[in-house]
Amino acid sequence: MQNRLLKIVPYLCLLFILFNTSRTTGQSLTYHLTKADSLFAQKRYTQSLDLYRSIYNQQQYTPSMFLKMAYIEEGLDHLAPALYYLNLYYLASRDERVIPKIKELADKNRLEGYVFSDRERFLSVYREYAIHLTVVLMGTAVFLLSLVLFLRARKKKAYGVWAALLIILAVMFIHINLPVQDRAAIVSSGNTYLMSGPSAGSSVVQIIGEGHCVTVIGQKDIWVQIRWKNKDAFIKKDSLLFLSL
């Protein structure tokens, strides 16, 4: 009994350390967010922006934080970052009131790729919850299979359960193979070269400015394959701001 307790003690100590570290990190982020908001209220915008960036670099955020970052970036005439944070706000909040502002900036600067159709909204939400849906479908399939085995063991008919299981498996197959994994990204620099292939030696498709929104298809080393005006092209990864949380 004593030996078992001695084995458990290190794990309890580790859990205690992890709990306190997590709590300290959360308190630190709350402190920095409060400080950044205070600086923003004082109109010390560049200082608050630095703190907001630091918070986001730690993969923490609030929707209102993105709005404030977009406001500051637009005030600094930084078009791509302003659109980037406005789109992140939309992803984080689903607040459609920001769409007119995004379209206003896009139209004013003649930017491509900012589409907010019902289909795009559906796919955006679907992508966000795709993993959760996969877990639910798999759990349901396992439950139904267990029920089939249970009924067979009791020598009872399970036609209805079999039918439900086949439907769930069919839905899961369609769900897994749906081509909706494309991501969006914003071109972050001016005079950006779109190439016909993933190489600096490829021919130039077009030279575009910052702020355009493109669909990401894939990646090969430092090159990202995108969809531009219904054609495939390649762009360097460091010229893009990827729209994902």
User: pLDDT 10s digit of each residue in the chain, 245 long?
Assistant: 444 434 444 544 444 444 444 454 456 678 889 999 999 999 999 999 999 999 999 889 999 999 999 999 999 999 999 999 999 999 888 888 999 999 999 999 999 999 876 666 676 677 667 788 888 989 999 998 898 888 888 888 888 888 998 999 998 888 777 755 558 999 999 899 999 999 989 999 999 999 999 999 988 889 999 999 889 999 999 999 999 88
What pLDDT, on a 0 to 100 scale, did the predictor assign at position 177? 75
Question: What's the CA dihedral at 190, 73, 114, 59 to 10 degrees?
Answer: 100
- Phi and psi at 38, nearest 5°, equal -65, -40
Burial call 72-90: b when 16+ CB within 10 Å, e when fewer: bbbeeebbbbbbbbbbbbb
The DSSP symbol for 13 reads H
Q: Which residues contact 200 (CB under 8 A, 6 or more apart)?
A: none
The DSSP symbol for 63 reads H
Locate all alpha helices (DSSP H) within the chain, ordered by sequence. 2-41, 45-57, 63-75, 79-93, 99-108, 118-128, 130-153, 159-177
What pLDDT, on a 0 to 100 scale, did the predictor assign at position 117? 67
- Residue 243's SS3 state is coil
Q: How far apart are CA 38 and CA 4, in angstroms?
A: 51
Contact 86, 66 (CB under 8 A): yes
What pLDDT, on a 0 to 100 scale, did the predictor assign at position 29? 75
What pLDDT, on a 0 to 100 scale, did the predictor assign at position 11? 43
What pLDDT, on a 0 to 100 scale, did the predictor assign at position 34? 93
